[in-house]
Amino acid sequence: MTASSIRLEARGIRHAYRGLSVLEGIDLSVPPGEVLVLVGPSGCGKSTLLGILGGMLAPDGGSVRLDGEVAPDCLNPLTYVFQDFALLPWRTVAGNISLALEDTALPPAARRARVAEMLELTGLSRFADAWPKQLSGGMRQRVGIARALAVRPAVLLMDEPLSALDAQTRGLLQDELAAIIARSGVTVAYVTHNLAEAALLGQQIVVLSRRPGRVREILRIDRPIAGRTATDPDLLAVETRLWDLIRADAAEADRELERA
């Protein structure tokens, strides 16, 4: 895959639901090929902000834009990966990946080649003819990621993509996901509650305050995500710093939920 040349910019984003302020004054900039991770206490607007960045939700104020040229082979500049694998049980692994290409102008041979490339990228080549029910949870999510990458997105938006997995599978897939993102070169905006995951995958980690969500702090990790490990002392220090920033807001958010 060709590395992304798209920068994702957000300026002055604010949003409210029925008069309740959810986001206030959000400024973000995601350089081409970089992974931005959004973290913060429950209810701080992480998924809402991701929806605004991806054009699924119009903000009440501010703007989002893509700077740069979309590659000629990009079929969908902004593409989502959600918690739900959303695989079609009556299609094989290859069939689920090819679904994203069927309403495009790609000729059949080009579609088959792209599916084969995505299978190779995500380590699924041996499972091309398998059915979703025959796969583990981690493998099903890899199919979902392969399907999203098949359209050559300029920006990949990922909303808690590993949260439905058990802890052991999640840990294994974190490492695989880091390698897949690094090889694909795509620009990524990623939402997670898992601070270890944020440190493992993020190059820019944006910490949001409790509602209304504002940018509390931005942490940078200026090193490639490929080759990072969960036991790396520097990443453990980042995880600790994230928890220090979020702890008080998380406790207050929980108390608000209890009162509600």
DSSP one-letter code for 231: T
Q: What pLDDT is attached to residue 114?
A: 93
Q: How far apart are CA 17 and CA 5, in angstroms?
A: 34
Low-confidence stretches of the chain (pLDDT beneath 70): 1-4, 253-260
Write down the CATH number for the domain with range 7-71+154-259: 3.40.50.300
pLDDT digits (tens, 9 = 90+) for 140-167: 989 999 999 999 898 999 998 888 788 8
- N residues, the chain: 260
Give me the DSSP letters along 197-208: HHHHH-SEEEEE
Beta strand 187-191 with 155-159: parallel, antiparallel or unpaired? parallel
Q: What pLDDT is attached to residue 164?
A: 76
The pTM is what?
A: 0.90
CB atoms under 10 Å from CB of 237, counted, come to 11
- The domain ranges of the chain are 7-71+154-259, 87-152
